[in-house]
Amino acid sequence: MSVASIQAFVSKIAGDEALRSKVHAAAGVDDILTIAESHGHVLDKTVLLKEHAKALGTAKDHELEGINSWGDALMHAFGATDKD
């Protein structure tokens, strides 16, 4: 799995309101992986967590204040927001 695989899934999230709702409700990374797989995207947990940490590590505090779930954090880290 590569960053491109993650970004492909996040692009799908950005264009699908029902999928976005499922991701917003995800309690953790395992839920994200299950949702991704059910939509045809096989993601590696280790790569996802490492890339996620890198992306959030460079985010500004004010950008992180609106994150309320693991799904929100994933979408923020990989460029999908509710404004997409």
Q: What's the pLDDT tens digit per position in 20-73?
A: 899 888 888 999 999 999 999 999 999 889 888 888 888 888 888 888 888 888
Task: Output the pLDDT for position 40.
Answer: 93
In this predicted structure, which of 4-8, 34-38, 77-81 has the lowest mean pLDDT?
A: 77-81
Average pLDDT (5-9) is 89
Enclosing H/E stretch for 11: helix 3-14
Q: What is this structure's pTM?
A: 0.80
Task: Output the pLDDT for position 84.
Answer: 42
The CA distance from 61 to 68, in Å, is 14
The CA distance from 48 to 83, in Å, is 23
Q: Say if residue 83's pLDDT is above 70.
A: no
